[in-house]
Amino acid sequence: MVSFFKKISHLFIIGLLLVLPQTANSAEGDNVRHKPFIYAYSSSADMELTASEVREKLLGAGFTIVGEYSPYDGVMDIVVTNSALQTATSATDFGSFGAVQRVSLTKMGDNIQVAYVNPTYLALAYRLEGNLAETKASMEAALGNDHYYGSRKGVKTKKLRRYRYMGFPMFTERFDKPDLLATYASHDEAVAKVEEGLAAGAGGVSQVYRVDIEGTTDTLFGVGMTDGCSGDTHIMGKIDFEDERASSHLPYEVLVKDNEVYALGARFRIAISFPDLKMVGKHSFAGIMCAPGAIKNALRAASGNPK
């Protein structure tokens, strides 16, 4: 009888493994550690000249610049995409949140830090089917890769795949359960309502870019936020304090998927960029305790749903 149950258990496990989705990320060892950002290089030129140089390098590597954003003095974020990145990300449900690459220029002292989001890290955190190796190679060819940063030890592959802040199984957001901001009769109406809200600055939110994802009914908006607890200046002023800044955390995203409008929950979206932040104390999540609710309300207002 015991042998019979063992056989049944083995068959069940094998069957489960066969039906579970297999992704390219499974090639990443479960205990390999990853950091959210890549430090490309330092520039001694001024912001304008450095930005011009970065733009030229990105365009030369086959990227399209879709928007630029200066949330506060000394920072410029350049947002790019291309067909390969859109195809790779759209293969996963809600993967279009990752259909752009954010490159940051941050003035620190006499130098400007040029950095960007680590595609491998994002692919894992966003549960993508692939690992964005092509995007990473293109970014490295364009800007370089001096070192990874944004976490002292890095986050293990197995944790990134199912990331939740502090590992809590309840009460914290996750990638595959984003906030539903609004629902409309059609994709076109949803996009029009978001554009209308952003143009009006509803909730203190403005448009940085719009990308219509190739081959899908997904439209990704990048947004800047200025009001109170949801404001980019307020949030980054509290938590972005290390010598190597995490400016390419911005801008935030709103995704129109079919006829619905979504945003990643702030406790997920902020936490994956700042995985080492403590719950309490100086430079902690306690300092932006009001941000998750404020961000959701601001983005809901910008989506035409102020309730």
Domain boundaries, the chain: 23-302
Give me the half-sphere count of Cα atoms (radius 13 Å) on the Cβ side of residue 63.
30
Residue with tokens 């932040």: 277
Given 3.30.310.70, 3.40.640.10, 3.40.228.10, 3.40.50.300, which CATH number is that of 23-302?
Answer: 3.30.310.70
Task: Give the pLDDT confidence score for residue 222 in this predicted structure.
Answer: 98
Task: Give the pLDDT confidence score for residue 171 in this predicted structure.
Answer: 60
Task: Give the pLDDT confidence score for residue 167 in this predicted structure.
Answer: 61
Alpha-carbon span 301 to 239, nearest angstrom: 25
Q: How far is CA 65 from CA 76, 77, 79, in A?
A: 13, 11, 6
What is the mean pLDDT for each group of 10 consecutive residues in the chain (307 residues)? Answer: 42 37 53 97 97 98 98 98 98 97 98 98 97 98 98 96 73 88 98 98 98 97 97 98 98 98 96 94 92 97 87
User: What residues contact 111, with CB distance under 8 A and at least 6 apart?
Assistant: 42, 43, 44
Task: Give the pLDDT confidence score for residue 283 in this predicted structure.
Answer: 87
Task: Give the pLDDT confidence score for residue 236 in this predicted structure.
Answer: 98
Task: Give the pLDDT confidence score for residue 169 in this predicted structure.
Answer: 54
User: pTM of this prediction?
Assistant: 0.89
Task: Give the pLDDT confidence score for residue 173 in this predicted structure.
Answer: 84
CB-count exposure of residue 195 (10 Å: 0-12, 13-18, 19+): middle
Alpha-carbon span 285 to 238, nearest angstrom: 9
Q: Which amino acid is at 146?
A: D
Q: Which amino acid is at 44?
A: S
Task: Give the pLDDT confidence score for residue 305 in this predicted structure.
Answer: 85
Alpha-carbon span 153 to 155, nearest angstrom: 7
